[in-house]
Amino acid sequence: MVFFCEENYYYQQNDCEDRSVLFAFLVRHLLRLDVVLVDYPGHIATAVHFNENLPGTAIMHNGRRYVICDPTYIGASIGTEMPGFATEDQTVIPIK
């Protein structure tokens, strides 16, 4: 079960799905950038389509480059995948 965005602030703990959904909501509504969820086996992260070409790990979806931005990888830079998931298969989940 994934929290609604507001529930992340109510409960003391959340997980990768909760943080990714909240992060995607904030990026879409505050920065007006396109975001997708990236579903790895056992983990979910986000990827953002920036208006400029930023370095780092990225995925292609519908002809657009999305840079990995994982809100659960504490201290990681934009474009850095969490160790252990970089070699895993991934599924892109578009957000509408």
Within-domain flag for 2: no
CA 56/CA 50 separation, integer angstroms: 12
Answer whether residue 62 is part of any domain. Answer: yes
Does residue 8 belong to any structural domain of this protein? no
Structural domain count, the chain: 1
Residue 84 located in a structural domain: yes
Q: Establish if 1 belongs to a structural domain.
A: no
Q: What pTM did the predictor assign?
A: 0.86
pLDDT of residue 5: 63
Residue 81 belongs to some domain of the structure? yes
Tokens of 5: 């965005």
What length is written for the chain? 96
- Report the pLDDT value the prediction gives residue 8, as an integer from 0 to 100: 58
At residue 28, φ and ψ (nearest 5 deg) are -65, -45
Name the stretches of the chain with pLDDT < 50: none
List the domain range (segments joined by +) for residue 72: 14-94
Q: 28-41: b or e for each residue (b if 16 or more CB lie within 10 Å)?
A: eeeeeebbbbbbbe
In a domain, 52, yes or no: yes
